[in-house]
Amino acid sequence: MRAYYFDNVPGDQRLAHEPVPSRPVAPDTLAQMGVLTWQIPVAGYEEKLDGIARERGYKNSDTIDVSREGMGEVYEAKIKGFFQEHMHEDEEIRYILSGSGFFDVRETPSDAWIRVAAEPGDFLILPAGIYHRFTLDERDNIKALRLFQDEPKWIPHARSAATDVNNHRVGYLRAIGVGA
Ligand code: KMT
Ligand code: NI
């Protein structure tokens, strides 16, 4: 999965926003932030994914189709919501089946955005407590499997003074060795 520092140039969120020259971010750097990435070929993915799900205790999954056709009336609102910086109290686990998009994750303590370009076959885990956002790219569609440990809890907590002291946020910072 390709990742690079976001250029912070205002404009269409669907564009790559990759600086020239690019500033790539290695998988190891992402892993130090608790962001784990794998490649699992889409052909015959079920068996491999079952293994990971068993290992990590993911008991449930569903698929999400982020596209105008897939979402209907709620499309615009969803797209806006996904791109608002937020955190969750659970991991955000995605396996990309088709299409593409960008997961932006905040590096701490620099507060820089790192853009992760997700494509079919990419498996991605965002840890609980990390600030992040998502956007479609110019292709305007992505289909992904969402995995979860128990009940789906997709509550996005928009970044605020309150989330800065949320237990899961504080636990995340401790886990990556940043802050108090
Ligand atoms: C999320 O929670 O931001 C999403 O599910 C985005 C779409 S998954 C490719
Ligand atoms: Ni999220």
Q: Which domains does the chain have, with CATH numbers?
A: 2-6+33-173 (2.60.120.10)
CA angle in degrees (0–180, nearest 5) for 105-135-21: 65
pLDDT tens figures, 35-61: 999 999 999 999 998 898 899 889 888
Distance, CA of 148 to CA of 46 (rounded, Å): 16
| CA atoms within a 13 Å half-sphere pointing along the CA-CB vector of 16 | 10
ipTM value of the model? Answer: 0.94
Q: What is the pLDDT of residue 151?
A: 77
pLDDT tens figures, 150-169: 777 779 999 999 999 999 99
Three-class SS state of 91: coil
Known binding positions for Ni(2+): 86, 88, 92, 132
Ligand nearest to the CA of 103: 1
Which residue's CA is the closest to the ligand 1 atom numbered 9? 144
| CA atoms within a 13 Å half-sphere pointing along the CA-CB vector of 144 | 23
Q: What is the pLDDT of residue 150?
A: 77
**Looking at residues 125-144, what average pLDDT do you find?**
97
Other residues' Cβ atoms within 10 Å of the Cβ of residue 109: 9
- Assign 149 a pLDDT band (cuts: 50, 70, 90): confident
Pocket lined around ligand 1, Cβ cut-off 6 Å: 64, 66, 82, 92, 94, 101, 134, 142, 144
Which residues of the chain form beta strands (DSSP E)? 2-5, 36-39, 60-66, 86-87, 92-99, 101-106, 113-118, 122-126, 132-136, 142-148, 157-158
pTM of the model: 0.95
Q: Which atom of ligand 1 is nearest to the CA of 154?
A: 2
Distance, CA of 126 to CA of 36 (rounded, Å): 7
Q: Which atom of ligand 1 is nearest to the CA of 143?
A: 9
Q: Omega before 41 cis (within 30°)?
A: no
